[in-house]
Amino acid sequence: MGNSNGSNEALSSFLASTVPMGTESFKTLKILRRRYPKATLPVDERDHHSFMTAMQLLPSRKSYQELHTLADFFTEQTVGKRRGKHKEQLRRHWEVVVLNLSRAALCHHWLYISLKKNSYTTEYWLKKYGFSYSCMKTIFDYLVENDLVEARMGAQYSKGAMLTRVHPKEQLKEHLWQFFLDAEEPIEPPYLRINKADGSWGDVIQQLPSDHTELVEMTRINEFLKGHSWACKGPVRMIYNGDIMGGGRLSTPFQNIPCRRYSLRLCTKIDGQDICEVDFSANHLRLYMALIEEEDAGEDPYEAICANGGWEASYRSSVKWFITVAMGAGSHTLLQGAPGARDSAKSACYRYGISSEQFDAIEAATLATFPKLGLYKGFGLHAQAFEGQILKDVMLQGVEKGIVCLPVHDAIAVQVAHKDWAVAAMTETWARHVHGKARTRVKVST
Residues 348 and 389 in one domain: no
pLDDT one-digit tens code per residue, 363-390? 999 999 999 999 999 898 889 989 999 9
pLDDT one-digit tens code per residue, 330-346? 876 655 666 789 999 99
Q: Is residue 374 part of a domain?
A: no
> Among the three residues 325, 343, 369, which one is the final residue of a domain in this structure?
369
Let me know how many helices (H) and strands (E) the chain has, helices first: 17, 14
Per-residue pLDDT band at 98 (split at 50, 70, 90): very high
Residues 273 and 422 in one domain: yes
Residues 25 and 56 in one domain: yes
The pLDDT, as a whole number, for residue 24 is: 46
Per-residue pLDDT band at 247 (split at 50, 70, 90): low
Contacting residues for 92 by C-beta, under 8 A, at least 6 apart = none
Q: Is residue 91 part of a domain?
A: yes
Q: Is residue 4 part of a domain?
A: no
Considering only CA atoms, which of 167, 281, 270, 180 is closest in space to residue 224? 270
Per-residue pLDDT band at 193 (split at 50, 70, 90): confident
Phi (first) and psi of residue 112, to 5 degrees: -75, 135
pLDDT one-digit tens code per residue, 121-153? 999 999 999 999 999 999 999 999 999 999 999
Domain of residue 395, CATH code: 3.30.70
| Average pLDDT score over residue span 415-432 | 98
Q: Is residue 425 part of a domain?
A: yes
Residues 236 and 326 in one domain: no
> Among the three residues 138, 154, 179, which one is the final residue of a domain in this structure?
179
Contacting residues for 102 by C-beta, under 8 A, at least 6 apart = 176, 177, 178, 179, 180, 183
Q: Is residue 252 part of a domain?
A: yes
Residues 97 and 237 in one domain: no
Residues 57 and 83 in one domain: yes
What's the 3-state SS for 269-314?
A: EECCEEEEEEEECCHHHHHHHHHCCCCCCCCCHHHHHHHHHCCCHH
Q: Is residue 287 part of a domain?
A: no
Residues 317 and 428 in one domain: no
CA angle 56, 406, 384 (to 5 degrees): 110
Query: Which domain covers residue 79, as residue numbers?
Result: 9-179
Give buried/exposed letters for 154-189 (b at 16+ CB in 10 A, else e): eeeeeeeebbbbbbbbebbbbbbbbbbbbbbbebee
The pLDDT, as a whole number, for residue 137 is: 97
> Among the three residues 344, 369, 394, which one is the final residue of a domain in this structure?
369
Residues 120 and 79 in one domain: yes
- What is the Cα–Cα distance from 21 to 99, expressed in whole angstroms? 19
- What is the Cα–Cα distance from 253 to 106, expressed in whole angstroms? 12
Residues 326 and 392 in one domain: no
Residues 357 and 385 in one domain: no
Residues 302 and 340 in one domain: yes
The pLDDT, as a whole number, for residue 246 is: 56
**pLDDT over threshold 60, residue 162:** yes
Contacting residues for 314 by C-beta, under 8 A, at least 6 apart = none
Total number of domains in the chain: 3
Residues 96 and 202 in one domain: no
Per-residue pLDDT band at 244 (split at 50, 70, 90): low
**pLDDT over threshold 90, residue 241:** no
pLDDT one-digit tens code per residue, 285-333? 999 999 999 999 999 999 999 999 999 988 999 999 999 999 988 876 6
Q: Is residue 224 part of a domain?
A: yes
Question: In sequence order, what are the beta bridge partners of 165?
Answer: 112, 152
- What is the Cα–Cα distance from 114 to 136, expressed in whole angstroms? 8
Q: What is the mean pLDDT of the chain?
A: 89
